[in-house]
Amino acid sequence: MSSDASSTASTASTAATDASAINGSPKRVLLTGATGYIAGQLLPGFRERYDLRLVDVAPGPGVEVVDLLETPVEELAPLFEGVDVVVHTAYQRPAGEDSQARYDTERRNVDLMQRVYQLAVDHGVSRVVAASTNQAAKWYEQPYFQGRRDRVTPEDYPRPDSFYGWAKAAYESLGFLYACGSLGRALEVIQLRIVVPREIDPELFVDQPAHRYVRELAGYISERDLRQLFVKSIETPDIADEYGVPFHIFYGVSDNARKFWSITNAREVIGYQPQDDSERRFAADIARLLHG
């Protein structure tokens, strides 16, 4: 990183720390999908940092059981009133394996995302930070592993290769619509394309082609880096882009030596400074599987 970029990152990091509270009070954060996998990694840090409101369709400690899609919209207003930031990790899994079932469920997930955006706008929420996925542009992995492409950036045109990825790409384009101001008040929107938010089990790749293991190493994000990415997405005060639109897509990976998803804009806009590298974290497994 250049000295200018380092200075920008440092400034954004300091500003984000200062922004964890408003007028001396912690930010009020509504976390959807609060019993899910991603939320489970976020909550230990969130509980210490924010005034939290937790919702999910499944019960859990401190969780309000609410179906954000089926509940009449007027009954949801109290959930959003007084909230500073919505962190949206809620997700409905497909009820079947065929294409139509997958499409129908993902269409509902898009509807759920739109409802969150609209409720946020209607009730004065400043920002929505949503869990997206690299699968919004996963097709690019094909030319990458063919040696025809060196990097995938958030600015690349979305190219999903599944209904799941298509839905996340729809989350993003809907987010820009709400952020650009054409519907009224500009909602601040950040979409986080998370890649591999889990520890990598080497035994799953013993008899697999090497590129499959390399892909996991490239996309790995540690729990502390994932939490940092969300925290800085929540707290960085000014996220307007060069056109003044408060909208960004950031890739969620650690500072992996093998990464091919760009995190340059996350470094520059919110001061993301990942601490981990899969090359060090899994060094012994890499030596055995790739060089043994």
Q: Is the distance from CB of 103 to CB of 165 less than 8 angstroms?
A: no
d(CA 172, CA 282): 32
Burial of 7 (0-12, 13-18, 19+ CB in 10 A): exposed
Task: With both helix axes pointing from N to C terminus, report the angle between 283-290 and 210-219 in degrees, rounded to the nearest 10.
Answer: 160
**Count of CB atoms within 10 A of residue 232's CB?**
25
CA angle 86, 114, 118 (to 5 degrees): 65
The amino acid that residue 108 corresponds to is: R
Q: Where does residue 107 fall: left (phi above 0), alpha (psi -120 to 50 degrees), or beta otherwise? A: alpha
- pLDDT of the residue at 17: 45
Whether the predicted model's global pTM rises above the 0.75 cut:
yes
- pLDDT of the residue at 24: 72
> What CA–CA distances, in Å, run from 233 to 16, 79, 199?
8, 21, 23
d(CA 196, CA 210): 17
d(CA 172, CA 72): 25
**Strands 25-26 and 21-22, bridge-based pairing:** antiparallel
Beta-bridge partner residues of 28: 51
Residues contacting residue 93 through CB under 8 Å, at least 6 positions apart? 105
- pLDDT of the residue at 244: 97
CA angle 267, 32, 108 (to 5 degrees): 100
37 φ, ψ (degrees, to nearest 5): -65, -50
Q: Is the distance from CB of 84 to CB of 127 less than 8 angstroms?
A: yes
> What CA–CA distances, in Å, run from 146 to 104, 140, 259?
33, 10, 16
Residue-wise pLDDT tens for the chain (292 aa)? 343 444 444 444 444 444 566 557 899 999 999 999 999 999 999 999 999 999 999 999 999 999 999 999 999 999 999 999 999 999 998 888 899 999 999 999 999 999 999 999 999 999 999 999 999 999 999 999 999 999 999 999 999 999 999 999 999 999 999 999 999 899 999 999 999 999 999 999 999 999 999 999 999 999 999 999 999 999 999 999 999 999 999 999 999 999 999 999 999 999 999 999 999 999 999 999 998 7
Cα 38 to its chain centre, rounded Å, is 9
- pLDDT of the residue at 292: 74
- pLDDT of the residue at 21: 64
d(CA 193, CA 244): 22
Beta-bridge partner residues of 85: 29, 127
Query: Considering only CA atoms, which of 99, 265, 289 is closest in space to residue 211?
Result: 289
